[in-house]
Amino acid sequence: MVKTGIEIGAEHVANEVPFGLFGEWFAAAEAAEPDNPNAMTLATATTDGAPSARIVLLKGWDEHGFVFYTNFESRKGMELAANPGAALLFYWKSLSRQIRIEGSTAAVTEAEADEYYGSRPRLSRIGAWASDQSRPLASRAALEARVASFEARYPGEVVPRPPFWSGFRLMPARFEFWQERPFRLHERRIFVRAGTGWQTGMLYP
């Protein structure tokens, strides 16, 4: 992981690498947030620009991007297949901080998806088979019946990954780090990808 001396509000900024600052803020969130510090809003859009947003969980990140998993046949999966542009938003109330990340997405490798899927609890793997994600559901009983059906199909610990279930990696083109300050005079630092590096600057609150 890249390290950096950047701190919003500091008089000097050293080694301006947004992933390093993300790592520092994310570590602080893991120490401070009582539940799901890896929760993030994922915004997608259709090809004609109709937006949608939902909370998902960050399951991995590095200098190549930010990874989350889903059913490819869900609403977000189909929107990302048609329009790979997307945005993420982390908000940590206990720290009065948020991070906005914008970029394009691509599917993770089969090996990455297999490794993460295999790390999930058995019933979560069963659930990936049982849920026709984002499609109409007649009743809770219908979902429970599908879960029971797939539990019977895969009675042991080995539950193969469904072909329609995998992950996406968002490859960032822009970051914004936001720190709350009194009287709404918040601090906002942006990083915009420029070739193989990053340009940085500040925004009015």
pLDDT at res. 34: 87
**Does any domain span residue 10?**
no
- Residue 40 main-chain phi, psi, to 5 deg: -145, 145
Active site residues: 184
**Does any domain span residue 141?**
yes
pLDDT at res. 31: 96
pLDDT at res. 17: 83
**Does any domain span residue 162?**
yes
DSSP annotation of 106 reads E
User: What total number of domains does the chain contain?
Assistant: 1
Strand 165-179 to 65-71 pairing: antiparallel
pLDDT at res. 16: 58
**Does any domain span residue 5?**
no
Nearest to 19 by CA among 202, 204, 205, 200: 200
CA distance 55 to 59: 13
**Does any domain span residue 56?**
yes
* Per-residue pLDDT tens digits for 55-114: 999 999 999 999 999 999 999 999 999 999 999 999 999 999 999 999 999 999 999 999
**pLDDT lower than 70: segments of the chain:** 1-16
Which domain covers residue 62, as residue numbers?
Answer: 18-203
Q: What is the CATH number of the domain that holds 113?
A: 2.30.110.10
**Does any domain span residue 2?**
no
**Does any domain span residue 12?**
no
